[in-house]
Structure 1
Amino acid sequence: MHRHWRRQGEWVEFTPGRSVIESEQAMSAWLTDTLRMPQKMLRLMLHREEIRAAGDRLRLKILTPDTDSLEAADAPADVLYEDDACLVAFKPAGMPVHATTPEQDRQKNSLAHAVACHYAWTGQEVRVRHIHRLDVDTSGPVLYAKQAFTHAVLDEAMRRKEIQRHYAAIVQGQPNPKRGVIDAPIGKDRHHPSRRRVSPSGDHAITHYEVVESGPQLSLVRLSLETGRTHQIRVHMSYKGHPLLGDTLYGGDDSGFPRQALHGESLRFLHPLSGEWVQVDAPWPEDMSRLRQKI
């Protein structure tokens, strides 16, 4: 459902209709049901007088400056999409989404540091808030929210499985059938702390796949996730007997490719303010494009 909105300084203005504005109960219902504002945030914003009605317009003070202690990298992230509410950045293979050790934080080599650099260079006082992650050696788009409100809305969309992520992988062999659904729970591997495996006691996990190109040794497969388990595509394709090329953790051969051959091709999500679908496509990295030619 399309919702018209516009920025007014630190405020966002909507026109939900007089019937919504004239009743406090109707206004609260519109904010929680249509805009998906969390109840706790609604109560806090009402208390702070950060929600105002004027005529047929409803204004929310959600664009207030907000920064964190994260240092900016020396170069900005490659931004694929941006507006006042959110941003999508391209993550190259080999770069973590965020630092997981003090050393990585000092080196400032994560995507979060690069996004912080983009905000700094463009004069935006915005906290870095990622909505989802990609494995270190997977390339593709990563979604960021710019405010506490849009973060809450997009987080909930992620929980509801409304953020659609589509991937391309180059796997070993020829998956059969050429299209299908892998429905197999994923849990931790007791013998290897960084590995996951298909396990009856694991978390529910569903992957949809389709073979797009096929050769004697390699196949290009497009995949979409219904759930977002750690290493889900890698575990499921290995479980099916067709590990990703380069994915040594899950049985892949790395003689022809130095990382798992996995790329996030696109991201589709409902915009947290307008309610419209936004699709962001991420170009293939050079190493994957060269590998594709070998199929």
Structure 2
Amino acid sequence: MRRRYEWLYTMIPKSWEGLTIEKVMKRKWKLPRKLRHDFRSGGKVLLNGEHPHWKTAVVHEGDELGLRLFEPSTVRIPAVDMNLEVLFEDDHLLVVNKPAGVFTHPNGAEDGATLWNGVAYYSEQQSLPVLPKYIHRLDRHTSGAVLFGKHDLAIATLGEMMKKRRITRTYIAKVHGTMEEDEGRIDSPIDKDPAHTTKRRVDENGKQAVTNYSVLYRDDEHTLIRLHLETGRTHQIRVHLSSIGHPLLGDSLYGGSGDQQGRQALHAASLSFVHPFTEESITCYASVETSPFFEEEDLSFLKSN
């Protein structure tokens, strides 16, 4: 793939031989209907330099397909300098290290200093034409790696990858008490707590939720663990750990110690995936050296296991 001004160009591989433009967009890139309509009606697709008929024009190996992906963004949010740590960046993706204590995105007009606002500032400083969009979220008091797409195709493709669990997120957490088992699997459905507007709880009538964990080290009072999620429910890690009697340090909502320095002992330590456009294997590690709960050397457990 190569970028030229507002356009991204790619060569058609042999495996796409004979497909129509419509099928390329729908089957190969899994674009949602609305985005396919936008590309078609906006004349944002070129085949060998010409606007093709979506339903009849077919592609052949070696053809050049052009997509207009880098138009100036119409989305505007206030830009806030947050001095973000960038973990990975290219023309398509951006991964940043979210600080604890900030929301991923605005939830109302009063939220003007979220991670997305920080990314907006970074985008302005880098003269990016499009405002990157977050692909997933972290709770306000959780820190770590967050993935952004830098154009509509990346946003749609990464969203589909996240939905199909083709993006691996690894967390580290410090919990109350000493876990006896070296590893475990929590398979307990989660639903909203009717007694609390923001809280969740384990409920047999809720949605399936599965969390896997392994112990990195333990002492008489706390246990440091690594976690992988098979599902992505709201507050899943917090609810599951609390349900087995080991709430997060700092997570007062789910039975942990009171808030310490505006965070809880949960950090999205790494993000791994195959790049949807370059097919490169990407792993990003997010530093936790400023956390009151973790030491910098904790990440050595993650990288060596």
| Same fold at TM > 0.5 | yes
**Cα distance in 2, alignment partners of residues 193 and 150 from structure 1:** 34
1:245 matched residue in structure 2: 249
- When structure 1 is superposed on structure 2, of 56-65 and 239-248 the one drifting more is 56-65
Aligned to 1:131, which of 127, 131, 135?
135
Aligned to 2:3, which of 2, 7, 18?
7
- Structure 1 residues 290 and 43 mapped into 2: Cα distance closer, same or farther (>3 Å)? closer
- When structure 1 is superposed on structure 2, of 212-221 and 143-152 the one drifting more is 143-152
Across the aligned residues of Structure 1 and Structure 2, the Cα RMSD in angstroms comes to: 2.3
1:126-155 alpha-carbon deviations (Å, 9 max, x no partner): 224111111111110111111122111111
**Cα distance in 2, alignment partners of residues 291 and 219 from structure 1:** 16
| Deviation, structure 1 residue 40 | 4.3
Aligned to 1:144, which of 123, 145, 148?
148
1:220 matched residue in structure 2: 224
2:196 matched residue in structure 1: 192
Residue-pair matches, total: 284
| 3-state SS of 1:104 partner | coil
- Judging by fraction of residues, say which structure has more helix: 1
1:196-223 alpha-carbon deviations (Å, 9 max, x no partner): 1100111111111001101111110000
| Deviation, structure 1 residue 162 | 1.7
| Deviation, structure 1 residue 91 | 0.7
Aligned to 2:39, which of 36, 45, 54?
45
**Cα distance in 1, alignment partners of residues 111 and 104 from structure 2:** 11
2:86 matched residue in structure 1: 79
Q: Does 1:179 align with 2:173?
A: no
**Cα distance in 2, alignment partners of residues 102 and 203 from structure 1:** 31
- Name stretches of at least 5 consecutive residues in structure 1 with no aligned partner: none
**Contact map agreement 1:12 1:59 (CA 8 A) in 2:** yes
**Cα distance in 2, alignment partners of residues 87 and 255 from structure 1:** 30
- Name stretches of at least 5 consecutive residues in structure 2 with no aligned partner: 49-61, 299-305
**Cα distance in 2, alignment partners of residues 169 and 263 from structure 1:** 6
2:210 matched residue in structure 1: 206
Aligned to 1:100, which of 100, 107, 124?
107
Percent of pairs with identical residues: 38
**Cα distance in 1, alignment partners of residues 262 and 33 from structure 2:** 47
**Cα distance in 2, alignment partners of residues 19 and 110 from structure 1:** 42
2:67 partner amino acid: L
2:68 matched residue in structure 1: 61
Moved over 6 A (4+): none
**Cα distance in 2, alignment partners of residues 43 and 15 from structure 1:** 22
- When structure 1 is superposed on structure 2, of 253-262 and 266-275 the one drifting more is 253-262
**Cα distance in 2, alignment partners of residues 207 and 264 from structure 1:** 14
2:25 matched residue in structure 1: 31
| 3-state SS of 1:114 partner | helix
**Cα distance in 2, alignment partners of residues 255 and 90 from structure 1:** 21
- Structure 1 residues 275 and 40 mapped into 2: Cα distance closer, same or farther (>3 Å)? farther
| Deviation, structure 1 residue 53 | 2.2
1:219 partner amino acid: T
Aligned to 2:240, which of 232, 236, 244?
236
